[in-house]
């Protein structure tokens, strides 16, 4: 069975078990053959919502509040092929082709949606195959050194993945239009792009609020 991964910190987070359930329902609707694994500090809160939980180390809790979501790197503890999704993405298509693409690449993620130069990485949707544990081990071995980079204003889990992955592919190149930003690419569009599978709502608005991606999709007759 193919594995899809998410992360839920639980304690003190703006995200709730309802948001985990939202993502789980979308995955089961569009890719029922996949299992959903959740990295979490609060497994009891999501019992019965996901197929499997992986308990996160307690020392990661304070890191959720720092720039970048560093605890997400724990996804690489799991052997691939896997597909990781943030809780604030919206799944509207079959993810099996994305899992197949992930299986052909060491690490694949989105090119930064803001057009940074040099290109950055957005870690809302990440795939990997085989063993990428070294990306996690760098944080686990020496967190402070890993999270600090002199002169880099936005050093984060995303920059870490882009900089240290042995090879790095981009969804935009490998599966054009499969993953798109709501506020940078879709919000001003008239129609849903053919082949779109995952809508990324990086930052605000969250997809479930008024004016968010879910409302935009429903208005175009797409059930989410």
Half-sphere exposure of 78 (CA within 13 A, CB side): 27
pTM of model > 0.85:
yes
Determine the pLDDT at residue 122.
93
Confidence label for 205 from pLDDT (cuts 50, 70 and 90): very high
Q: pLDDT tens, 27-47?
A: 999 999 999 999 999 999 999
φ, ψ for residue 78 (rounded to 5)? -90, 135
Pairing of strands 121-128, 107-111: antiparallel
Q: What angle do CA 12, 36, 208 make, to 5 degrees?
A: 55
Q: Cα torsion for 113, 116, 122, 128, to the nearest 10°?
A: 120
- pLDDT-above-90 percentage for the chain: 79
Work out the average pLDDT over 54-83: 91
Domains assigned to the chain: 3-171 (3.90.550.10)
- Residue 212 in tokens: 């968010």
Provide the pLDDT confidence category of residue 120 given band limits of 50, 70 and 90: confident
- Write out pLDDT tens, residues 139-186: 999 998 888 765 554 578 998 999 999 999 999 999 999 999 999 999
């Amino acid at each position: 069975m193919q594995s899809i991964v998410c992360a839920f910190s639980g304690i003190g987070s703006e995200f709730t078990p309802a948001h985990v359930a939202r993502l789980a329902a979308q995955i089961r609707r569009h890719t029922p053959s996949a299992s959903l694994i959740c990295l979490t500090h609060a497994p009891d809160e999501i019992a019965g919502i996901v197929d499997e939980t992986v308990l996160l180390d307690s020392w990661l809790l304070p890191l959720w509040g720092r720039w970048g979501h560093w605890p997400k790197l724990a996804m690489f503890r799991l052997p691939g092929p896997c597909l990781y999704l943030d809780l604030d993405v919206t799944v509207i298509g079959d993810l099996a082709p994305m899992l197949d693409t992930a299986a052909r690449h060491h690490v694949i993620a989105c090119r930064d949606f803001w057009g940074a130069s040099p290109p950055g990485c957005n870690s809302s949707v990440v795939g990997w195959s085989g063993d990428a544990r070294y990306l996690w081990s760098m944080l686990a071995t020496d967190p402070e050194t890993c999270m600090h980079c002199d002169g880099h204003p936005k050093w984060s889990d995303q920059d870490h993945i882009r900089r240290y992955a042995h090879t790095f592919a981009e969804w935009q190149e490998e599966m054009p239009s499969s993953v798109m930003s709501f506020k940078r690419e879709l919000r001003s569009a008239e129609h849903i792009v053919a082949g779109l599978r995952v809508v990324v709502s990086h930052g605000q608005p969250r997809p479930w609020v008024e004016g968010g991606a879910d409302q935009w999709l429903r208005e175009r007759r797409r059930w989410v």
